[in-house]
Amino acid sequence: MMKPTLLLLSYLPDSLMQRLHEHFVCHLHASLDANQFMLLAPTVRAIVATAQSSVPRALIKQLPALEMISIMGVGYDGIDLEAAREHNICVTNTPGLSTEDIADFTMGLLLCAARQIHTADQFVRRGAWETGRYPMTARVFGGRMGIIGLGRIGQAVALRAQAFGMSIAYTGRTPKTDVPYRWCDDALALAASVDYLVVCASADAQTHAMINQAVLAALGSRGVLINIARGSIVDQDALVTALRDGTILAAGLDVFCDEPHVSQALKDLPNVVLTPHMASTTEASVAAMLDLTFTNLAAYFAGQPVLTPVI
């Protein structure tokens, strides 16, 4: 029996590549020129992508034999799900495996931004401590946290925030009946009532640029924004202005609008912590995601149910 052909949209760890090569014929999209891709396209039966990958309708239409899109990660906002449904394509992801790591990282970003750990480190390194003490910073313990999107990750963040004595409020598509936290109708109302605004929502048309100038103004001059969800949820220009003008105190960002490119305007600001979309990438989480990505592919082509279907 011929091995199914896979199109890989990203470089994948060697441990997964070795397993994939044993069971599939693998081609890295980035290494193909236009003619090579045209020759390969009719044979591709599955795409392996990451949560940052883009699979638009145009690409799906170029792959007439495509049956499956396997995403190594939680997010699938880069996948045209409508086109996948129309072509009866199975889409899978790897949810839940990195929840605790992302929640840990969220609190790390919050502490770093609010307590200015990154700039304090630079203060020591350049010898400034020898001429005076570092300025006072904001208190985190006992603060008010607002969470946009109280899914698995949002609830894990809330649990950690409670250990810091924080009160929790949230907003999302609908209020939840099984949590003790205060519900707000929208992001504007939530921002106006908290000190720390944490974005954990999924990216879609409803959440695009949800964190805009009005929300940032409502968060206020002592407020801190943390985004570990998707860059598109925050109006980046409005955020730069808010940070530059002191509309908000600080921000911590692990996600951006045009990854891996980060605007120079953000890089130039001292009151924002920037990290390279790494909240989920611990050794334990990545190993588990690799295993599930392979398991979903192997199950599908063996005629068995996939473990984590999106559609």
Which sequence positions are flagged as catalytic?
230, 259, 277
Residues 224, 138: contact at Cβ < 8 Å?
yes
3-state secondary structure of 7: strand
Torsion, Cα of 14, 17, 19, 24 (10° steps): -170
Q: Which of 57, 63, 96 is nearest to 78 (CA)?
A: 57
Q: Which helix (H) or strand (E) holds 162?
A: helix 152-163
Phi, psi of 287 (to 5 degrees): -60, -40
Residues 55, 275: contact at Cβ < 8 Å?
no
- Identity at 89, one-letter amino acid code: I
Measure the CA–CA gap between 47 and 226, rounded to whole angstroms: 32
Q: Distance between alpha carbon 37 and the CA centroid of its chain, in Å?
A: 29
Residues 182, 168: contact at Cβ < 8 Å?
yes
